[in-house]
Structure 1
């Protein structure tokens, strides 16, 4: 690919990103429907039955959207942009921090007001550091909260680019009850 073709491609991508930013960047966004776990997400039955990840990820995304909408001075109303989310990958077997990092990937899609649809897959992971060990469910819930934060950031300039996974050290992952109260 020539230098000129690369420049054109980059310019087209930047233009598309700017048009999406102006289309959604300052608009109220609401989460539609429940967050579901894709059948091919890869979680064990034990993790699925004990962790209730769909509810915790949904709660985290709703809280992040409420904070974002309040910061914009907006309230949910007719004509807002709609966000849908599905957990597409869960990596983490039982055994807490002793059994390695835990991660979640969520595919989110944004639609609204006749604007173009845009979607992205956002992945986040946690890991145990310096002997601080937490359970599998709290580590996965923490990864879910990191995903929710990334969703809110992505909404300021949505693009179809896949966001890189980032590993966050789980210094003190909250317990399941702490996560539910937040």
Structure 2
């Protein structure tokens, strides 16, 4: 919560120039053509909807208006557009018992129809407190929350560089090689 407040404060402090140019998330969020993701996780978790909800909420708070999203092919007007593609998902069913989960997203910030900035973001989770009792989808939802916070800061601050997140220690555990089971 404290991080969200400071993120909003950072964006609001950029002055009236920012207010004139909102950032909207292009929906639907898509998968890259060569995205690596277990089909069952893709079908059951609806990761693109999770990202759209969390990133859209973050942009709505930053913009202080609307829902933070824009339908694909719609006219953005003076707004900048954030286009996301899921490029990789590490995660099989079995929740925390099958190891940590990760998501990689490619992001383009589009101004006047041209890509002004590009970044790639990868976030990991083992489920947090009570992670052993969470399903794969809820653990991956935690990664989308982290991605939305980082992207919120990235769109507000052109000097902010998203750092690659190292896998947690649990990523090398034998349970990370578990056989896929039901995703939720």
Into which bin does the TM-score normalised by the smaller protein fall? 0.5 to 0.7
* Rounded Cα–Cα distance in structure 2 between residues aligned with 1:125 and 1:56: 15
CA 99–157 in structure 1, closer or farther in 2 if over 3 Å, else same: same
* Rounded Cα–Cα distance in structure 2 between residues aligned with 1:110 and 1:50: 29
When normalised by structure 2's length, the TM-score is 0.67
1:14-47 deviation digits (Å, cap 9, x = unpaired)? xxxxxxx99x866310112310112332211111
Q: Does 1:37 align with 2:31?
A: yes
Q: In terms of mean alpha carbon deviation, does 109-118 or 139-148 score higher? A: 109-118
Large movers: runs of 4+ above 3 Å: 24-27, 113-116, 128-132, 159-162
CA 94–115 in structure 1, closer or farther in 2 if over 3 Å, else same: closer
Match of 2:59 among 57, 60, 65: 65
Q: CA deviation at 1:167?
A: 6.6
Q: 2:96 matched to which residue of 1?
A: 97
Number of residues of Structure 1 aligned to a counterpart in Structure 2: 144
- Partner of 1:38, secondary structure, is strand
Q: 1:123 matched to which residue of 2?
A: 122
Contact 2:27 2:52 survives alignment (8 Å): no
Q: CA deviation at 1:165?
A: 1.6
CA 149–97 in structure 1, closer or farther in 2 if over 3 Å, else same: same
CA 29–131 in structure 1, closer or farther in 2 if over 3 Å, else same: closer
* Rounded Cα–Cα distance in structure 1 between residues aligned with 2:115 and 2:150: 21
Q: CA RMSD in A?
A: 3.0
* Rounded Cα–Cα distance in structure 2 between residues aligned with 1:83 and 1:52: 19
CA 25–163 in structure 1, closer or farther in 2 if over 3 Å, else same: farther
When normalised by structure 1's length, the TM-score is 0.68
CA 149–91 in structure 1, closer or farther in 2 if over 3 Å, else same: same
1:31-70 deviation digits (Å, cap 9, x = unpaired)? 1231011233221111111111111111111111101112
* Rounded Cα–Cα distance in structure 2 between residues aligned with 1:112 and 1:146: 24
CA 132–32 in structure 1, closer or farther in 2 if over 3 Å, else same: closer
